[in-house]
Amino acid sequence: MPDPVLILESIAAALLVSALVVAAGRWLDRRWAGVAQALAIALGACAGLFVLDVHPKWPPREDQDRFLLLVLPAVLLLDAAGNTPRASRAVKIVVRLVASMAVAPVLLYGSSYVADLAGPGSAEWPPAIRYSILAGLGLALFAGWSLLEWTTKRSASTLRVPFALAVAVGGASLAVMLSGYASGGMNGLPLGAALAGGSILAALWRGDDRDALPGAGVVILFGLLLVGYCFGELKPDAAAILFLAPMLAALPEVLPLARFRPFVRTILGLTLVALATAAAVGLTVHRFQTKEAAAGVKVDGPSVDDYSQFR
């Protein structure tokens, strides 16, 4: 099990590789900025996960295998393709909708939620309820993804949406780690760093909304929260706050806040995102401490390190 130093190293590796790829991408035509960002997230994630010694298995048997080998590459491809000059708006919306609807079924495939693992009719979500839940999850992801696409275009900011998503992904990772699914949460940290690295570098080089890819970030966030809730013990209120947190980056685009200068709006949006994320993580930490105290395991406050070391 990686120690905190290794986790920091994986975050640093993901940040650095992601930033370097975006830097290299600056030599390309600006029309391919989205492709460079997708590549930066992919390679940054690979670097961070490599440091953590994460090796997803093929064929994929568990949620993390499906997330890292199927969902993430597919979304990065779609996001990059949607950010190219030839992509029409209608096609982008249809692709976004289809991708949104597919994420939850792929992550939950073969699990006791959707499969009759203990005999006919034993699935936790019977068919009638199952399709409603999956459709609801897909629509929620689609709505969040669409709002962040709108915010990206409206704000014309390289940094605001990707960084908001990176903050929320980081918070979600900690929350999932403290909710009985340490490795699932930990995998999210380098993914969040990969989102942040490329966007920070693009912002430093005065990029624009073509450098921002909301799709990958929002799917990473959604995936983390879904597996944290379904396979770990993440509570639905904390998951909902964390999912909605990056949406707060859209708030400054609404009047009367829209009158502020772009820089101020970005600072305001990111502050709101950070506050909501901190609230959800704080709630999860409190629950973790309460549960551990109830179990009578430890008198002092617990730490993530305790948990990761399987005390």
CA angle 194, 104, 108 (to 5 degrees): 105
For residue 113, state whether it binds other proteins (rule: CB under 8 A): yes
Read off the amino acid at residue 158.
Answer: T
Q: x/- string (CB under 8 A) for other proteins, residues 289-308?
A: --xx-xx-x---------xx
Give min distance, CB of 184 to other proteins, in A.
6
Residue 182 beta carbon to other proteins: minimum distance, rounded to whole angstroms: 5
Question: According to CB under 8 A, which one of 87, 101, 125, 233 is a site residue for other proteins?
Answer: 233
Task: Report the sign of the C-alpha dihedral through residues 144, 146, 149, 155, in that order.
Answer: negative
Residue 129 interacting with other proteins (CB under 8 A): no
Q: How many residues bind other proteins (CB under 8 A)?
A: 32
Q: How far is the CB of 102 from other proteins (least distance, A)?
A: 19
Among residues 41 and 175, whose Cβ is nearest to other proteins? 175
Task: Check residue 103 for interaction with other proteins (CB under 8 A).
Answer: no
Supply the angle between the helices 236-244 and 214-230 in degrees, to the nearest 10.
180
Asked if 230 touches other proteins (CB under 8 A), the answer is yes
H or E segment and range at residue 306: helix 304-308
For the bound state, the minimum distance from the C-beta of residue 118 to other proteins, rounded and expressed in Å, comes to: 6
Kindly write down the DSSP assignment for every residue of 62-75, as one continuous string. Answer: SHHHHIIIIIHHHH
CA distances from 240 to 44, 182, 226 (A): 27, 20, 10
Whether residue 189 contacts residue 170, with contact meaning beta carbons closer than 8 Å, is answered with yes
Q: Burial of 235 by CB count in 10 Å (0-12 exposed, 13-18 middle, 19+ buried)?
A: middle
Closest separation between CB of residue 298 and other proteins, Å? Answer: 10
Task: Pick the binder of other proteins from 18, 64, 157, 158 (CB under 8 A).
Answer: 64
Residues 9-48 that bind other proteins (CB under 8 A): none
The minimum distance between CB 19 and other proteins, in angstroms, equals 30
Q: Which of 97, 102, 111, 251 binds other proteins (CB under 8 A)?
A: 111
Rounded to 5 degrees, φ, ψ at 65 are -60, -45
Is 232 near other proteins (CB under 8 A)? yes
Of 4, 24, 31, 57, which lies in the binding site for other proteins, with binding defined by CB under 8 A? 57
Nearest residue (CB) to other proteins, 31 versus 61: 61
Contacts of 103 (CB under 8 A, 6+ apart): 71, 75, 137, 138, 141, 219, 222, 223, 226
Nearest approach, Cβ of 293 to other proteins (angstroms)? 10
Least gap, CB of 243 to other proteins (angstroms): 20
From residue 168 to residue 207, the character string flagging contacts with other proteins as x (rule: CB under 8 A) and all else as - is ------------xxxxx-----------------------
Q: Return the closest-CA partner of residue 245 out of 158, 174, 157.
A: 174
Give the DSSP H/E element, type plus range, for residue 79: helix 72-82
Coarse DSSP helix, strand, coil percentages of the chain, rounded to the nearest 5 percent: 75, 0, 25
- Distance between CA atoms of 47 and 34, rounded to whole angstroms? 20
Query: Under the criterion CB under 8 A, does residue 309 sit at the interface with other proteins?
Result: yes
Binding site for other proteins (CB under 8 A): 1, 57, 61-64, 110-113, 117-118, 180-184, 227, 230-233, 291-292, 294-295, 297, 307-311
